[in-house]
Chain A
Amino acid sequence: MGLKGYIHDIVEAVVTTAKGMRITARYGVDPKEEVTLQYPEERWEIPQGYRGFLHNDIKACTSCTMCVKVCPVDCISLEAVRGADKKMVLASYDIDIGRCMYCGLCVEVCPPKSLKHTSGYEMASVSRGELVLHFVPEDAAEIKARVARQVAEAAAKAAEAAKAAEAAKAAEGSAEPPKPAAGPPEPPPATEKKE
């Protein structure tokens, strides 16, 4: 390193320092350069199509289990039983948002469009269990028991109706041989469950 390089080094050090200090001074003086958002008081505008926490409108949900099947991280668990009117009744619908990666596949696939992304992004909990969102407020076992009772009642009603119909038939024509008292009982309530 000759004298020329030595002096060049010094000059460069001074010049670059001055340049840097000019930039920082500009930022330091200009109050408009502040980019901080005072979060709890000020909030950013949530963009359209923002994928926040999932929300399932259980009244519209048909328990088709599409969301359960499509979920890449298996964070949705759904329990449903077949009700008296042959429709599925949700027993429980839980989303583990600690596991959810907000990919949005479940929302895309949902046939009744009951599953939606909300704009919510704030949540705090002291344990991981609290991160599981429950969308069916009642207890799953209670719902299952109630549905089973309804199904049984409906089956009994159907059996009675069948008996009455048979009795009427028997009264009409006594020549026919008596049939068994009731039809085959309803199949046990279908339970679909996927973890």
Chain B
Amino acid sequence: MESLALSLVKSFPALSAAPMWAVSLALMVTAGVVVLVFALTFEGVGSLVLRKVAGDIQARIGPNRVGPNGILQFLADGVKLVLKEDLIPEKADRFLFKLAPYLVFVGSFAAFVVVPFGVGLSPADLNIGVYYVMAVTSLVVIGVMLAGWASNNKWALLGGMRAAAQIVSYEIPVGMALIPAVLVAGSLSLQDIVRSQGGLLGLFGWNLFHNPFTFFSFILYFTAAQAETNQTPFDLPEAESELVSGYNVEYSGIRFGLFFLAEFGDMFIVAALATACFLGGWNVPFFNAALLPPLWGNLLSLGVFLAKAFLMVLVMMWVRWTLPRLRVDQLMRMSWKYLVPLTFVNLLGVSLWLLLFRGKGIPQMIASVFG
């Protein structure tokens, strides 16, 4: 942020009168607001797309009343959620009950900070990006657990406990499946990871095609991440048919809305991370966006990144409306007996590959054969 502030001061001499920290602060706030607006818009439109996709897949039409073809449905939903009465159960722990949705939303939204939206477009390019995302999205589990506990409702408590067990279990495969990308790039920074996938190989420079193990780790990451964000085949914390609505059953109005937004935020984070770590991030195939003038390069790479991320979101929705919900024991078995060992084996495979072939992927080898 400081470097950006410096360049801004350089290009607009009028700003040099203001102290440096003020310019930096203003930039930070602006970036935060922009990302928040993006997140909220995505969450709104995402909910509409989710319902439309559900309709298509289930041979229905989906929302089509509000606005042309129902495209304003999310606004109506949002207005409804804001206007609804904010109920707090009599015997609930009022403080924790009020706190929980904010924790969940903050945990989901804070992950947007390191998302590499474009060549120079990252709210903050932390050098521990991947690690940070993992840590901050785990905050969700505290919020969910609190929501379940503070509601003083047996269904909510069961949902919260399930959520805690699930998120904690799937944290391991998610982390282990992301590490191969970190190993290939040699950096935890998401921007560095994305940059490592660029180059002349285009599509085949992506970590997805680096070697067989990274391909598997992409699939493992995608599966485990769906479970970690409580997407439908693994949505046991809010299994409607068993737990009414799970941890958020007692919530109404905008507090429920925050849970809802966090869910969609998580969806985007998973898609963005998968894109950044395995699908080449903002890299435009066969073209170096960083060489363009900053504005155009940023816009182009932003478009490419969002296109890839939204495609991943669409795939997540597709999976969501395909698979039935797992049982609790099946869920735990899948994590501990299948995903955890597989990701470890996979990590070992990637490490050995990088050691044996000196960090070269299959496409690079093929390219070097042809000179």
Q: Do A and B bind each other?
A: yes
Contact of B58 (CB < 8 Å), options: A20, A21, A27, A31: A27
Interface membership of A10, Cβ < 8 A: yes
Q: What band does the interface of chain B fall in when counting residues whose beta carbon is under 8 Å from A? A: 10 to 19
The answer for the CA separation of A21 and B219 in the assembled complex, in Å, is 15
- From A9, A21, A23, A24, residue with most partner B Cβ within 10 Å: A24
Chain A residues positioned under 8 Å from B38 (CB to CB): none
**Cα distance, A29 to B60, chains bound together (Å):** 12
Chain B residue with minimal CB distance to A38? Answer: B61
Given that A10-B338, A27-B56, A28-B56 are contacting pairs, would A21 and B61 also be in contact in the complex, using a CB cutoff of 8 Å? Answer: no
Q: Closest Cβ of chain A: how far from B59's Cβ, in Å?
A: 5
- A36 near B318: Cβ-Cβ < 8 Å: no
In the assembled complex, B9 has its CB within 8 A of some CB on chain A: no
Kindly identify, within residues 1 to 49 of chain A, every residue whose CB is under 8 Å from any CB belonging to chain B. 9-10, 17, 20-21, 23-25, 27-29, 31, 33-36, 38
Q: Is the CB of B322 within 8 A of A17?
A: yes
Which residues of chain B (54-68) have a CB below 8 Å from chain A? 55-61
Asked if B323 contacts A33 (CB within 8 A), the reply is no
Interface centre among B59, B318, B322, B338 (most CB of A within 10 A): B322
Number of interface residues of A (CB under 8 A): 17
The docked-state distance in angstroms from the alpha carbon of A24 to that of B54 is: 10
Interface on chain A toward B: helix, strand, loop, or mixed SS?
Answer: helix
- CB–CB A20/B322 < 8 A: yes
- Measured CB to CB, the nearest residue on chain A to B314 is A28
Neighbour of A34 across the interface among B53, B60, B318, B321, CB < 8 A: B60
Which B27-65 residues have C-beta < 8 A from chain A?
53, 55-61
| Interface of chain B residues 322 through 339 with chain A (CB within 8 A) | 322-323, 338
- Asked if B1 lies at the interface with its beta carbon under 8 angstroms from chain A, I say no
Nearest A-chain residue to B233, judged by Cβ: A17
- In angstroms, Cα B60 to Cα A33, docked, is 8
CA distance A21 to B323 in the complex (A): 8
CA distance A17 to B326 in the complex (A): 13
Footprint of B on A, CB under 8 Å?
9-10, 17, 20-21, 23-25, 27-29, 31, 33-36, 38
A-B contact pairs, 11 of them (CB 8 A): A10-B338, A21-B319, A21-B322, A23-B322, A24-B321, A27-B56, A28-B318, A33-B59, A34-B55, A35-B59, A38-B61
